[in-house]
Amino acid sequence: TETGVYFGSASGGVTTWTAKNTGLSGTDLQVNDVAIDPATQTWAEASKVIWRATDGGVQVSLDGGATWTEKNPASVSNQWSDAVAPTVADLNFTELLFADDKLFVSATWQNASSAWRSWIFYTDDFPAVRASSGATVTWTQLTTGWDD
């Protein structure tokens, strides 16, 4: 949503919504996608590992969304040779996908000529994050097979 992530729980036919945005503001509240680590989907809500793609970056929560840690790619290459290359902070992270042993995230950016650019990054480091939010996540940018 445009105001963060909410968790809904039902009891007696009434759904209660709880904000899961502690410590976040600005573009980190512009949430584009949320994905629960498949290995933690059956865990108690307060123990689930949740990833989210926002206009401010990629964040992960090890406590069901109570707190969040940034896990952004370190850099982005400009394969289109735009006059002004984007930085990671310029990207809007839009979708997350767990596939096999990798976590993928897509990102977009609009250049000065109003042309949209897209990137896909992936990591296989996400299982280490289950044990520690301080675990290093190295993102690899896919750079082949794209047409502009």
The DSSP annotation for 79-102 comes to TT--SS---GGG-EEEEEEEETTE
Cα distance between the two ends of the chain: 29
Q: Residue 61: is it exposed, middle or buried by C-beta count within 10 angstroms (0-12/13-18/19+)? A: buried
Q: What is the DSSP letter of 67?
A: S
For the stretch 87-126, pLDDT in tens is: 899 999 999 999 989 999 999 998 888 888 899 999 999 9
Q: How many C-beta atoms surround the C-beta of residue 135 within 10 A? A: 16
Burial of 27 (0-12, 13-18, 19+ CB in 10 A): middle
pLDDT above 60 (res 34):
yes
Give residue-wise pLDDT tens across range 41-89. 999 989 999 999 999 899 999 998 889 999 999 998 877 776 677 889 9
Q: How many CB atoms are located within 10 Å of the residue 102 CB?
A: 13
pTM: 0.83
Q: CB-based burial of residue 127 (10 Å sphere; 0-12 exposed, 13-18 middle, 19+ buried)? A: middle
The answer to whether the beta carbons of residues 107 and 94 sit under 8 Å apart is yes
